Chain A
Amino acid sequence: MGLKTKLNIILLAIFFLLPGKAYAASVSDIAKQLVCQCGCNMILLNCSHGECGSRTEMNAIIQQKLSQGESETSIVQSFVSRYGEQVLASPPKRGFNLTAWITPFAAIIFGAGGIYLALMAWVKRGRQVPAPVETRSEEMDDEYRRRVDRELQRFSEKGFR
C-alpha cells in the first residue's frame, strides 16, 4: 500500500475517532441538530427570523425541557416524534441512512484500490520497457537535445504544461 494511501486512511480514522467533548448540553447544542420548521429550511441555530413563529417556539421548548433536566437525546427525539425525521439537520447514522454516510468513503476506498492496482500494472509495464542505457555518445546527446527542443517548442506553441 502506498504511503499516501496509508496516510489518508490514518487521517480518516483520526477524524472519525476524535473524541467528542464532554459537556452539559445547551440550547444551541440542540438547535444545531434541528431544522427550523417555518419553511426557511435553515438549521434552527442559524435561523435569524424573529418573525418566524417556529424558531421562537422550538427554542423555548428546548430551553424548557433542558431546565426540566431532560437529556439531549430525549429532547431531540421528542422533536423527531413531533415533526418526523426531517426535523433532523442530518440523517441519523443508522439503518438505511447509514448508506449516505458510508457510500462516499466506500467509493473512495474502492477507487483507491483500483488506482493502486492500475498503478502496479502500469509500473510493471513501464519496467518491461528496457531502461535507457546511459551512454555519453555525441549522437545520443544530439538526439536528446533535438527531442528536448521539439518538446519545448510544442509546449510553448500550444500553451500547455
Chain B
Amino acid sequence: MTDIGNTSLLLALAAAIYSAVAYITGTRKRNPGVVASARRSLIAVFGLVSLAELVLLFALLTHNFRIEYVASYTNRDLSPAYLISALWAGNAGSLLFWAWLLSLFSLITVLQKRDIGRELVPYAASVAMITQVFFIFVILAVSNPFDTLTFTPADGRGLNPLLENPGMIIHPPSLLAGYVALTIPFAFAIAALVTGRLGDEWILTVRRWTLMAWLLLGVGNILGAWWAYVELGWGGYWAWDPVENAGLLPWLVATAFLHSMMMQRRRGMLKVWNMLLVILSFTLALFGTFITRSGIISSVHTFAESRLGPFFLVFISISLIGSLILLYYRSEELKGEAEMESLVSRESTFLFNNLLLVGAAFAIFLGTVFPMISEAVRGVKISVGSPFFNQVNGPIFLAILILTGICSLIGWRRASLRNLVRHFLLPVVLSVLLAVVLYITGVREGIALVAFPVCFFVLFTIIYEWIRGIRARHRMKGENYARAFWNLVAANRPRYGGYIVHISIILISIGVIGSSIYDSEKEASLLPGDSVNIKNYTLTFENMDHFQTASKMVVSATLSVQNRGKSIGTVVPEKYFHNTYEQPVTEVAIRSTPLEDLYVILIGWDQNGATSFKVLINPLVSWIWIGGWVFILGGLIAFWPERRKSAGRGEPVKE
C-alpha cells in the first residue's frame, strides 16, 4: 500500500515539474496545446497528491502500524476524529497535507472563471507548481509518511495526549491552510513581475485569496490560543512561543497588505510596497512551517525534531532573494502615480497603520530569532519570553488601535480642520470622561486608564460611522432603520465586514488588557476540608479520586466553590497519566463568566495527602473568544463573493 503512496508522490513530482516548465514555455511560445497540457498536469498533481493523502488516511483508519508514521502518532484506542487529525500530527503528515492543500488551491486557481488577470494565470500556476515541487521533494527525500518499519508493532505509540483536544482538529489545518493560501497571492505577484502586467489586475485577483488566507490564519491563531488556555494548563492563552509567533507574523503582514491594497486600488500608490508585503507574507508562511517543523527553536510545539531545517532555509532564501531581484528589476515601472491633497487624510492613517503592523511583525520576528542571534554573536544562550514581547508590542498595538479609530473618522483624500474637530470632539471627550470615571471608581493602573478609553474610542467611531450610514439611507431612500442597516452592509460588504473585524479586534483587546492587568493567582497546599480564598471566591478541597480508563489513569480533585459566601457548585481539576506517554497531562477546571474566569489547576500531591493547587482569576477572558466569533463573522462578510454579474445593473463589463 505504501507503494501506491510513494508512486503517486513520485508521479506527482514529475507532473508538477512538467506543469511548472510547460506553463512558461507554452505561454512564451504562444502554444495553446502546451499550455493545455500544463494545465492537465496540474490537475493530475491534484489527483495524485489526493491519492497519496487518501492512502495515508486509509492507513491511519485501518491501523496499519507497519507504517512508521501510523505507529508513531496513533494507536487502537484513538477515535476516528483523532485518527483523521493524525494526518497533521507529525512532520511528514503535515508536509503531505501542505502539498495537498497547495494542489487544491492551485487547481481552484486555474479552474476559476475570471474576468481579469487571465494572462497572469499560467505564470502564477507555474510558481505554485515550483513550490509544489519543493514540498513533494522534501516529503520524498527527508520526511516521508510512507516509510515502513521492518516489523509490525501490535499497537502504535498513540497521539500526544496534549493534541487530543477538539481545537486540535481545526487549529493546525486552519493555520496550515492559511500558510498555503498565501502561496497564491505570492504566485500572482511574481506573475505580474515576470509579465510586466503591473497594473491593478493582480491586486484584484489576489484580494480574496489574501482575505481567505488571513481569515484562516486568524481563526488558527485564536483556536491555538483557546487550546493553550484549556489544554496546556498554565493559566494563559498566549505565551509568545516561537510557533505562536510564527502564526501571527504572516497574519500581521497580510493585515497590512489587505489595507495597503486599497491604497493601490484607489490611488495607484504603494505598488512596490504591496509587492514587498506579498513576498514577505509568503516568506513568513514558509518561515512558520520551518519553525514549526524543524524544531530549530525550542518551543511547546516541538513535537518532533527533524532534518528539514536546511532544505527550508534554502527554499526560503531562494524565493526571497529571487523575488526581491525581480522586484528591483521592475521597480522603475512600479513607480506610483502618488500624489495627495492633504497630509491629514485616510491615506496617511493607512500608511502609518501599515508601518505599525509591519513594525509589530518585525519586533516579534526579532524577538523570536534573537536567541539564535545572541548565540551566534556572543555565544550566550538567552531566552526571549513574554515580558519582552508584551513590553515591546504593547505600545505598538495600542498605537494601531488608536489609528483604527482615527482612520474611520477621516475621509479619503482630504480632511478639513473643521470636519476633524466636528468628528473627533464627541468621541475624544467621551473617552476622556471614561478615563476619569475609571479613575474615580478606583482604577489606578496607567495601562488600563489609557487602553480601555482607547478601545471605547475606536468602538464609538465605528458605531458612529455605522449610524451615519444608516441615517443617510433612511433619509435618502426612505428605508426603515432595520432595513437600512441590512442594506448598508449588503451594499458594501468588504467595508462593513472590515468594520466588524475592527469590532472583534476591540473585543479581543479588551479581553487581553483585562486578563493581563487584573489577573490574580494563588497557590495553596490543602488537606481535605481546607479552604483557600482568592478575591471573592472561597474554594474548599473536598476529596481526591482516581480511576483507570482504557488508555489512562485519571486523578481528580473536587473542590466546592463559594462566590461571596454563596455556593456556586464544584470544580474538578484533573491530571491524566497516559499509558503510552511519560508526561502527565494537566486538565484544568474553568468556570467562565463574562466578567471573569475561575481557573483551577491541580499541581501535585505528597504522601501525607496534602494537595497543591493553583487558582487563578482571569478577568474578561471570554471576551477574547467572543471576539473570535465576531472576527469570523466579519471576515466571512468581507470574503463572501459578490455576484459576478448582477441583473439590472446595466451591461456586463466587457474586458
Interface residues, chain A, with chain B CB atoms under 8 Å away: 2-5, 7-8, 11-12, 14-16, 18, 28, 32-33, 35, 40-43, 46-51, 84-91, 96-97, 100-101, 103-105, 107-108, 111-112, 115, 118-120, 122-123, 125-127, 129, 153-154, 156-161
Contacts and interface: CB of A to CB of B under 8 A. Distances in A.
Contacts of B366: 100, 103-104
Contact of B116 (A2, A7, A158): A158
Contact of B653 (A85, A105, A153): A153
A119 B343 contact: yes
A86 B381 contact: yes
A96 B579 CA distance: 47
Given A91-B382, A158-B116, A41 B299 contact: yes
Contacts of B204: 158, 160
Contacts of A101: 388, 392
Contact of A108 (B359, B386, B403): B359
Interface string B610-628: 0010100000000000000
Interface in B381-422: 381-388, 391-392, 394-396, 398-399, 402-403, 406
Nearest to B267: A122
A73 to B, nearest CB: 15
A88 B383 contact: yes
A123 B342 contact: yes
Contacts of B300: 40-42
Contacts of A51: 583-584, 604
B603 A48 contact: yes
A104 B586 CA distance: 37
Contacts of A118: 338, 351
Given A89-B387, A119-B348, A97 B374 contact: yes
Given A12-B395, A90-B384, A48 B233 contact: yes
B367 interface: yes
A120 B653 CA distance: 38
Given A50-B603, A153-B650, A86 B383 contact: yes
Contacts of A161: 262, 492, 494-495
B521 interface: yes
Q: Kindly list the 3 A-B residue pairs having the minimum CB-CB distance in the complex, ordered from nearest.
A: A50-B604, A104-B363, A90-B388
Contacts of A123: 339-343
A43 B389 CA distance: 13
A29 B352 CA distance: 36
B355 A46 contact: no
Nearest to A114: B355
Contact of B387 (A33, A47, A50, A105): A33
Given A12-B395, A47-B234, A96 B378 contact: yes
A47 B377 CA distance: 30
28 contacts: A4-B349, A8-B399, A12-B395, A15-B394, A41-B299, A48-B614, A84-B380, A85-B380, A85-B382, A86-B371, A86-B380, A86-B383, A88-B382, A100-B370, A101-B388, A101-B392, A104-B362, A105-B392, A107-B359, A108-B355, A111-B355, A112-B352, A115-B348, A118-B338, A122-B338, A156-B649, A157-B653, A159-B207
A96 B343 contact: no
A30 to B, nearest CB: 12
B104 interface: no
Contact of A89 (B341, B359, B385): B385
Contacts of B645: 157
B469 interface: no
A85 B367 CA distance: 15
Contacts of A86: 371, 380-383
B446 interface: yes
A111 B112 CA distance: 39
B352 A115 contact: yes
A88 to B, nearest CB: 6
Interface string B590-624: 00000000000111110000001010000000000
Contacts of A11: 395, 398-399, 402, 450
